[in-house]
Amino acid sequence: MPQEGLPEGFILRPGVPADAKSFHKLDHICFPPQVAFSLALFRFHLKDQASINLVAQKAADAPLAKSALAGFIVAHVFGKSGQIVTMDIHPDYRRMGIGSVLIDKCETAMREKEAKESLLQVAVGNEPALALYRKKGYRPIGVIRGYYPYPPPSGTDAVYMEKIFNVGK
Ligand SMILES: CC(C)(COP(=O)(O)OP(=O)(O)OC[C@H]1O[C@@H](n2cnc3c(N)ncnc32)[C@H](O)[C@@H]1OP(=O)(O)O)[C@@H](O)C(=O)NCCC(=O)NCCS
């Protein structure tokens, strides 16, 4: 897989079922336990043909699926719509352009699956992610009240964002 845009020494590869525990561990580093996804969800997506799973890691660690990950993205495509499920970059590897590359490659994979758009939800206060998505061309199309179940009693709202893929690009 091409490595353009990644910092030197990092590679991108498809996620494999053996990555499930590493995805789950990194998700718990990035989010509070009340919001982090379950191991079962990652196991599902890593086996699902309609899902897209991409991993960024140090080349020196490859191809060990169980080694520490710099980051990953999980998405799936239903019909003409792609949906980013989550993306996590380890705190040690942020602001290096890895998240940006993962989105680019994920969108390419969505298009290969005939998607015409990419959708996602992001917590209203998650400024780093909102800034990243805006930079990548996503625009807010609504707010989903209480989308995230934490904190009680009313949870956290999500911004619903969309990017329509340009034909031919
Ligand atoms: C959001 C996240 C994925 C960004 O990943 P990243 O690899 O650090 O992002 P990049 O280095 O590719 O950043 C690309 C651009 O996004 C924006 N951005 C990223 N992090 C930012 C921050 N902390 N503050 C402001 N803007 C930020 C900037 O415009 C940045 O470009 P620049 O560095 O040239 O200014 C990462 O912070 C993360 O994993 N956060 C925790 C998990 C999470 O919130 N995931 C999103 C779930 S919806």
Q: Which residue range forms the structural domain that includes residue 88?
A: 10-164
The residues, any chain, with a CB within 8 Å of residue 29's CB and separated by 6 or more, are 88, 90, 91
pLDDT for the residue numbered 60? 76
pTM, two decimals, is 0.95
Domain tally, the chain: 1
What is the residue with the minimal CA distance to atom 36 of ligand 1? 89
Tell me, what DSSP letter sits at residue 48? -
Look at residue 154 and tell me if it is in a domain: yes
What is the residue with the minimal CA distance to atom 16 of ligand 1? 132
Ligand 1 atom showing the smallest separation from residue 84 Cα: 48
Ligand 1 atom showing the smallest separation from residue 100 Cα: 12
Residue 151 preceded by cis peptide, ω within 30 = yes
CB-CB neighbours of 40 under 10 Å: 10
Residue 134: which CATH number? 3.40.630.30
- How far is the centre of ligand 1, averaged over its atoms, from the C-alpha of 95 (Å)? 6
Distance CA 135, CA 91 (A): 20
Distance CA 61, CA 69 (A): 9
Look at residue 3 and tell me if it is in a domain: no
Residues of the chain falling short of pLDDT 70: 1-3, 61-67, 168-169
